[in-house]
Amino acid sequence: MDEPVLRSLGLTIRFGGLVALDQVDLEVRAGEIVAVIGPNGAGKSTLFNIITGVYGPTEGRVWFDGKDITGRPTHEIVARGIARTFQASRLFADLSVLDNVVLGLHTRTTTNVLEAMLLPGRSRRELARAAATAEGILEQIGGNLFEQRKRRASELAQADRRRLEIARALASQPKLLLLDEPTAGMDDNDTDALIEDVRKLKADRSDMAIVVVEHDMRLVAALPERVVVLDYGRKIADADFDTVRRDPRVQEAYLGSSAS
């Protein structure tokens, strides 16, 4: 078996007396889609925040691509190849749709401040190239984001905002894509479209791993190869969807003990 692209061991984080994550081990292989589910407050978003360096864990370590990235600053982790989206979409609202994706290419461009001042032609060409790449990504992502590329991101409809966030994350050509509740606030049609988008994405970039935090069971049933269940910060299941669905501990976590 080859080395997993992402591996965590004994990941624990305490906020004061609250144990938000408790000894979580996780492995994600290249090209795999993994869903992380669990009741509210189970620690799903916290897990993402530790992987991307927003928080440093109290205990435990995270390896990405064979290297220890525990507690490294976010920008460094992103440059190594992890991209994410946010639960409540976080776009650069007063910039154009295209600029949002160009910013996704930030780690793929290199001009520093002196070069920008002294070699304006080069830095402008670099940005123009990035814009061309970004247009390509927008054409690929579906919907009609490409046609809307010159609008402000704040003017987009909800489903398009999600798409744009995913496009921005993809721009950095990540090896691992983290999607934090991509269907939040979407209706059934939008959710179906999103599932289609992710499938298409997968076909185009077969070795990119995706970890998705999700509440929508239709998506969880349709997409991932493996489902990880968190409850009160602990991992209580890690298997395919059908096995997880029948797991009594999972049912208890979701429905309460009296239901089982």
Partner 1 sequence: MKADGAPATKTFSTLRAGTVVIGSSLAVAAFLWAFITADSTIAVVALLVLLAAFFFGLERYPQAEAVVVRSFAEARVTAAIVWLVIVLGFPFLFGQNTYFLHLLVMCLIYSVLAIALNFQLGSANIPNFATGATYGIGAYCSALLALEFGWSFWATLPFAALAATLFGFIIGLPSMRTRDAYLALVTIACGVIIHQLLNNFEWTGGPQGLIGIPAPTLFGYSFASPLPVFGYTLPFQANFYYLALALLALSIVVANRLHQSRIGLAWNALRADEIAARAVGINVVWYKVLAFAVDAFLAAFAGVVYAFYISYIAPDNFTFLVSVTLMTMVIVGGMDNVIGVILGAFLLTLLPEKLRAFSDYRLLFYGLVVIAFLMIRPQGLLPQRLRSYGA
Q: Which residues bind partner 1 (CB under 8 A)?
A: 52, 54, 73-75, 78-79, 83-84, 86, 90-96, 98-99, 102-104, 106-107, 109, 111-113, 115-117, 120, 123-124, 126-128, 130-132, 150, 152, 168, 172
Please report how close the Cβ of residue 134 comes to partner 1 at its closest, in angstroms.
Answer: 9
Residues 6+ apart with CB under 8 A from 56: 50, 70, 71
Please report how close the Cβ of residue 141 comes to partner 1 at its closest, in angstroms.
Answer: 16
Q: Which is nearer to partner 1, 165 or 216 (CB)?
A: 165
Q: Which is nearer to partner 1, 140 or 173 (CB)?
A: 173
Q: Which is nearer to partner 1, 103 or 236 (CB)?
A: 103
Q: Which is nearer to partner 1, 57 or 81 (CB)?
A: 81
Cα 149 to chain centroid distance, Å, stands at 22
As a whole number of angstroms, the distance between CA 1 and CA 11 comes to 23
Please report how close the Cβ of residue 90 comes to partner 1 at its closest, in angstroms.
Answer: 4
Distances (CA, A) of 118 to 113, 115, 124, 127: 9, 5, 12, 15
Please report how close the Cβ of residue 6 comes to partner 1 at its closest, in angstroms.
Answer: 17
Q: Which is nearer to partner 1, 150 or 257 (CB)?
A: 150
Q: What angle do CA 61, 36, 9 make, to 5 degrees?
A: 15
Please report how close the Cβ of residue 166 comes to partner 1 at its closest, in angstroms.
Answer: 13
Q: For the chain, give me the number of helices (H) and strands (E)?
A: 10, 10
DSSP label of 45? H
Q: How is 150-194 classified by DSSP, letter by letter?
A: TSBGGGS-HHHHHHHHHHHHHHT--SEEEEESTTTT--HHHHHHH
